[in-house]
Amino acid sequence: MTTQPSDEPGTVVPTCYRHPGRETYVRCQRCERPICPDCMRDASVGFQCPECVAEGSRGMRQAQAVFGGKAVTTPRVTWALLIINLLAYAAELARTDLVLSTFAMNSGMVAYYGEWWRLVTGAFLHQPMTSGGLGLTHILFNMWALYALGPELERRLGAARFLTLYLLSALGGSVAIYLFGLSAVGASGAIYGLFGAMFVLGRKLGYDVRGVLWLIGINTVLTFVIPGISWQGHLGGLVTGTVVAAVLAFAPSRNRNAVQWGGCVAILVVLVALVLVLPPFAVNARLGLLG
């Protein structure tokens, strides 16, 4: 303990063990070292020093989300995805032709020119207001759905698992477009993956999922009724998100992390293999390359 002489002869004034220049008469309840106000940490009785608090925390089990991963209080991944989509839309409005021609999902450009990034970037673009048709409605619906479903799923799954679900669902929608469509933009594949995940997690937790089934059914019907909507992206994302959620929700408690992440890697490998092995059927049919 560092001490300094006081004004009265023969007495010493205790000083903070971390800040020797600060006088204090408060001691840590565990180690009894003097601590100044900046070093005081509230305890059940009195105060503790930072080292004792850290030592005590190491022996405590960290809170977890329902299906693994760290507990989430603020859904930062959801907010980050919302911001990325909105920034991409702003860039798209500023340079519509350049952004769409470079980053939109296009089966022919992926298959014959090796522009593989379109499988991911196309899921963060939306129809511009100048295109007519859905226009602004496209991004408004997708972002509303992400805002409504994202926080709940992120808290149930944990941040890393939720992000994996979102990205694999988006990729699944793009792979379906690659195989059976021509071109498309939008986060709808990822959003439909969240729909499927809500159903799977609700069943696992014993909730009434009839409302989710109605939501999926209505949106699936609209997919085929409203012209200009990529049914391939919607259904591809729905199937992929449902499978990913099933892996995350029904993984056994023993070795759960290994099963969950191993299953997600296997799904990613399957999606990549589909693109590498199978031809884009719709593009080839358009070009007259199918027998």
Question: Residue type for 214, please?
Answer: W
Q: Is there a catalytic annotation at residue 138? A: no
List the catalytic residue out of 138, 188, 230, 253: 188
Q: Is there a catalytic annotation at residue 19? A: no
Q: What is the 3-state secondary structure (H, E, C) of the chain?
A: CCEEECCCCCCEEEECCCCCCCECCCECCCCCCECCHHHCEECCCCEECHHHHHHHHHCCCCCECCCCCECCCCCHHHHHHHHHHHHHHHHHHHCHHHHHHHHCEEHHHHHHHCCCCHHHHHHHCCCCHHHCCCCHHHHHHHHHHHHHHHHHHHHHHCHHHHHHHHHHHHHHHHHHHHHHCCEECCCHHHHHHHHHHHHHHHHHHCCCCHHHHHHHHHHHHHHHHCCCCCHHHHHHHHHHHHHHHHHHHCCCCCCHHHHHHHHHHHHHHHHHHHHHHCCCHHHHHHCCCCC
List the catalytic residue out of 138, 169, 230, 234: 234
**Active-site annotation, residues:** 188, 234
